[in-house]
Structure 1
Amino acid sequence: MKYLDEFQDPDLARRLLDDIHATVTRPWAMMEVCGGQTHSIIRHGIDQLLPASVELIHGPGCPVCVTPLEMIDKALAIASLPDVVFCSFGDMLRVPGTDGDLFRVKGAGGDVRVVYSPLDALEIARRHPEKEVVFFGIGFETTAPANAMTVHQARALGVRNFSLLVSHVRVPPAIEAIMSSPDCRVQGFLAAGHVCSVMGVEEYPALAERHRVPIVVTGFEPLDILEGVRRTVRQLERGEHRVENAYPRAVRDEGNPAALRMLAEVFEITDRAWRGIGVIPGSGWRLAPAFRAYDAEHRFSVGGVRTREPAACRSGEVLQGLIKPHECEAFGTACTPRHPLGATMVSSEGACAAYYLYRRLDHAAPAEEATPVG
């Protein structure tokens, strides 16, 4: 299968690992931004194959995980209203709010539906003009263009009973916040390839220069990640801090012009709260004034939401890369995928879910005891 089997070749992986081992002369810590990369790293044991002096820190790149608790509670309030059809991707249904989740709302009689595209939600609105149809628009720069296009299409078609509950976040301001933290240990970044396929790399050189960190745009297969690590290590060893594109089969420096035009028309940049982290200036999108009529927060009265995170959940520290999932006292005991305390154990891209799924219940094994990729 093109671009799958080729990028899981164990012989090529060993050659990349040999190069990394030969290059490293001192300890380095780098962060993979994307939750999809985290799952690939843990699934294939990449972190256990690397030299002990190379640490991979798991970043806040899971869109479900960083959706703020307040927004989850607003979703629950809207979904509970009569004559509302609340549409979402399936991974949001089990994310815990202060008191329950969307599955519980559905069980209590709410019309909560899993869809595969925001356009599916728009079609439901067209077929049921007597209902208010809301789509839960979450995610990074990868999902934002489709949601923007759907709102644009709703206005063009004159569909008035459709709205978007927007909780979109942006990666570069998150990197800025991470690097500005006094507790930051990150010395380099593996940037998310799918985000850069949309946005390009325009915002990254200034970050790399300001914080003197290499940023390598990286894919998601084992060889992609190893090549990203190899390039990052080489820059660190040389004292360099450049932006490199190690994912050219999907990423162009200028990104996707059509998607960028749609985002610029429908959304505007705003401050956004990240679950477990707090408000990051300029890190989100909201609907622009011309499309405000399609904003579910404006359409429905869901103010006065009071949120409460479980005291035992340390997902915020996991999202900031301050601890590994198994270092949380609740991990695998009070918090499991069946009974999650936080979104990082629910999401298919959450670090806690990855550690639980691939049985990383204790500290990682030393590199020399690990099994090669493949």
Structure 2
Amino acid sequence: MKYIKEFRDGKKAKILAEQIKKEVKQNYAFMEFCGGHTHAIFKYGLTDLLPPEIKMIHGPGCPVCILPEKVIKQAIDLTLDRDILFCSYGDLLKVPGPKGDSLLKAKARGANVSMVYSSLDALNLARKNPDKKIVFMGIGFETTAPATAMAIKMAKDQNLTNFFVFCNHVLTPSAIQNIFHSPELRNMQELKIDGLLGPSHVSSIIGTRPYEYFTEEFEKPVVIAGFEPLDVLQSILMLVRQVNEKRAEVENQYIRVVDKEGNQTAKNIVAEIFELERNFEWRGLGSIPYSSLKIKKKYKQFDIKAYVKLSEEKVLGHKACQCGAILRGVKTALDCKLFGKTCTPENPLGPCMVSAEGACGAYYHWYINKKVENGKRDKTMSLGHD
């Protein structure tokens, strides 16, 4: 298959679903790490095609969802400096921090906050506004880190002295390791994972090699999956076969994009600009050693943390919000008493409702907002009608 439409073929999807049903021999619990996979599963109603023996668990692969309230507060605090123009991706603007405050609300109060689509947009703002300190919020997994690194390198090459980065890039393998080491997973009554649906975009950068550790150390099969519905279904079938055959290997379904070594050019620019941070606090997962990136001393003139002392005070979110447990795969959106009531995309009380890649946001958009009763999708949302 060559074109996107072919990967959304309803007839082929049903054939794959029937094959999965034929091969199931037990109950299976598979975690899709990436928020893009969560979105695809909801959008195309793949859970309706899967047999009841297969349970999909939503992981922490949503870039804005995993940022702790403390980081949101630090970002809001930075906007208090009238000389700063704070730049961020759009979905981060609505993420609630302390007492429901957000960058969007700070902007409404008069703060200089600008939505950008890339780090290069922020770099252009630095060129056009030499009297302002342009602070770019560098967030995301290995997918977006190379673009932030390139912006820093370009700023140095162009001698831009008013461009800064608030770096909060995080690393996928560290998060997966944390989940496999979690008390919930050790206590099988709380969380059971038989295999991992590996992320697509992240793997296009880091390759498949880093996942070999998990298959060897934890004996869990990993299948790198594309984003389209047929990609996901085929990858689930591959996981079922591995479990049935008692194998634990890294398999690559997304061969049209991902290879074993990844994008060496992207990895090189990241290695030049960044180094590992000793600790990083993840929402829901806690403090994970060496799970994030920081700017190297060689480029510290672009690190806003080198100029501003940021508050390290622990900030608590809404008491009833279950985003932390949802990100760990222990609970689902429907387990949260706030979901769809006081917490909606228009009034998010937790980050999982803000982003399109968040589990709560995806569930609300594709089920609740479409007025589909009893968790079932209507025919207009089915495969082949896009």
CA contact (8 A) 1:49 1:372 kept: no
Kindly report structure 1 stretches of 4+ aligned residues shifted beyond 4 Å: 360-366
Which of 328, 334, 347 pairs up with 1:320?
A: 328
> 1:162-217 CA distances to partner (integer Å, 9 max, x unpaired)?
11011111111111111111212111000011101011112111111110110000
Amino acid at match of 1:239: K
CA distance in 1, matches of 2:123, 2:219: 45
Structure 1, unpaired ranges of 5+: none
CA contact (8 A) 1:73 1:305 kept: no
Which of 319, 337, 354 pairs up with 1:329?
A: 337
TM norm structure 1: 0.96
Residue in structure 2 matched with residue 45 of structure 1 by the alignment: 45
CA contact (8 A) 2:89 2:116 kept: yes
1:345 aligns with 2:346: no
CA contact (8 A) 1:46 1:373 kept: no
CA distance in 1, matches of 2:62, 2:202: 12
Residue in structure 1 matched with residue 274 of structure 2 by the alignment: 267
Residue in structure 2 matched with residue 280 of structure 1 by the alignment: 288
CA distance in 2, matches of 1:108, 1:372: 43
Q: What is the CA-CA distance between 1:363 and the residue it aligns to?
A: 7.0
Residue in structure 2 matched with residue 293 of structure 1 by the alignment: 301
Q: What is the CA-CA distance between 1:307 and the residue it aligns to?
A: 1.1
Alignment of 1:1-374 (within 5 A): 3-99=3-99, 100-184=101-185, 185-270=192-277, 271-359=279-367, 364=375, 373-374=383-384
Tell me, what secondary structure is at the counterpart of 2:184? coil
CA contact (8 A) 2:367 2:375 kept: no
> 1:321-356 CA distances to partner (integer Å, 9 max, x unpaired)?
101101111111121111111000011111000111
TM norm structure 2: 0.93
Amino acid at match of 1:358: W
CA distance in 1, matches of 2:312, 2:226: 41
CA distance in 2, matches of 1:3, 1:36: 19
Q: What is the CA-CA distance between 1:297 and the residue it aligns to?
A: 1.8
Amino acid at match of 2:230: L
> 1:242-288 CA distances to partner (integer Å, 9 max, x unpaired)?
00010011111110010010011101112221112211122111111
CA contact (8 A) 1:32 1:59 kept: yes
CA contact (8 A) 1:95 1:346 kept: yes
Tell me, what secondary structure is at the counterpart of 2:98? coil
CA contact (8 A) 1:76 1:102 kept: yes
Between 298-307 and 203-212, the greater mean CA deviation after superposition: 298-307
CA distance in 2, matches of 1:152, 1:67: 25
Q: Determine what percentage of the aligned residue pairs are the same residue.
A: 41
CA contact (8 A) 1:79 1:85 kept: yes
Between 214-223 and 262-271, the greater mean CA deviation after superposition: 262-271
Structure 2, unpaired ranges of 5+: 186-191
Tell me, what secondary structure is at the counterpart of 1:58? strand
